[in-house]
Amino acid sequence: MKKITLILAVLLGTVGWAATLNNIYHANYGEIDRVVLVLSSDIDYSITSRPKKLKITLRETVKGTNVVDEIFNDNQVLEAWDFQIDGEDLQFIIYTDKKYVTQKTLYYKEKQHYKLVIDIFNTLDPQTYEELMSYASYNQIIKKNQVLAQKYREKAEELKKKSAKENNEQNKHTVKKEETAQEETEANQQQIPNIQNPAISGQQQPSNNQQTLNDSLLADSVESKQEVVLPETLSPESIFVQRLEAEKEKIAQESQRQQSKTNKGASLFTKIIVVIVQLLLAFFILKIVIKLIQENIGKKKKLNHIPKIKEVNYRSEAGFGDDDFKREVIEKLKLKGWKLAEIAQELELSEGEVISYLQTSREEQKGEEGQEK
């Protein structure tokens, strides 16, 4: 069973992968941007703040296939984001368009996923019309605080009216200044004397009526030239540039759609492969476990069916050899320190018989010693 537990732990350790960053999306509210990271499981993370840079370190996390680097052109907060791998950790780096003031984070579980939310602010004290409207949208959509959103909106409208009033006064002052300059120009023109050319004195001078008519025609011509205002039209070059920009935008949008479809297809294919691999691993694990269980059961059956060997006493019923042999064995065991009871049990004799053999042995030894003398 220990072997089975060890194999299961190793195999399950290989199947139990790290957390996955499945998706990233964001929403822009002018001077505020919300970035949301969607994770497959609970993780540990840390955030490091730098000027125009935020680094979020996701512990033991890998990047999903549909998560890619991004560059933002029309965003007042974000400039780009990208990823770096640090051992088993994934680093998500956000580059901001300005030196952001602060960020707020929120981490919570939603159904089967975990979400890390990061709100990035360019200012904490909105003053301009755009900043006030950004805070109004953020509080209305994100914070669901209609009262605070309405206050920011009213303040923005007051600022807009005040700015429009100042612009009107400035325009009136400019128009009045232009009218004064025009009047001064006309007054100066009236003071210029009418000088005739002496070189044509020999020619006939026009009559007073003809001179008056010519002056009036000249004046009408000057006034008509002053009143003609050519409408603003687009040059062929500008029209071509606009069309070119429109075509580029269409191509970019189509490319983004194709890329999105490709990413979705790749993500689905990857998920299918992952599921197949998990099923195969589970099948092999189950097969190995069943095989090991069968082997253990077989071993137990074999042990249970081993026939018991009947103990047989191969010693002679007549005893442990003849008397001389018994005396010799008793003497050797006695010299080795055996007790009488142990010798009697070993030779299947009584203690009296052991003592008798010892006494007989001693008497024989004494007899032999007497003969030698």
Token readout for 33 is 């941007």
Same domain, 357 and 280: no
Question: Residue holding tokens 């137990």?
Answer: 300
Q: Which domain holds residue 350?
A: 323-372
The residues pairing with 62 across neighbouring beta strands, listed in sequence order, are 20
Domain boundary among 135, 161, 180: 180
Residue 227: inside a domain? no
For the stretch 27-48, pLDDT in tens is 999 999 999 999 999 999 999 9
Same domain, 261 and 160: no
Token readout for 269 is 């294919």
Same domain, 93 and 136: no
- Please tell me the distance from the alpha carbon of residue 152 to that of residue 155, in angstroms, as a whole number: 5
Same domain, 15 and 120: yes
Question: Residue holding tokens 């006494």?
Answer: 359
pTM comes to 0.43
Instruction: Calculate the alpha carbon distances from 105 to 47, 108, 190 in Å.
Output: 9, 10, 75
Same domain, 43 and 66: yes
Residue 221: inside a domain? no
Residue 99: inside a domain? yes
Residue 63: inside a domain? yes
Which residues of the chain fall below pLDDT 50?
A: 6, 8-15, 195-236, 314
Question: Residue holding tokens 């970035």?
Answer: 35
Q: Provide the domain count of the chain.
A: 4
Residue 69: inside a domain? yes
Domain boundary among 136, 153, 180: 180
Question: Residue holding tokens 């294919």?
Answer: 269
Whether 25 and 116 have beta carbons less than 8 Å apart is answered as no
Residue 203: partners with Cβ closer than 8 Å, 6 or more residues away: none
Residue 214: inside a domain? no
For the stretch 335-365, pLDDT in tens is 888 888 888 888 888 888 888 888 887 777 7
pLDDT of residue 102: 77
Residue 5: inside a domain? no
Same domain, 293 and 330: no
pLDDT of residue 285: 94
Question: Residue holding tokens 């020999």?
Answer: 202
Residue 243: inside a domain? no
Closest C-alpha among 349, 298, 294 to residue 327: 349
Same domain, 73 and 43: yes
Residue 151 has φ and ψ, to the nearest 5°, of: -65, -45
Same domain, 299 and 360: no
Same domain, 133 and 107: no
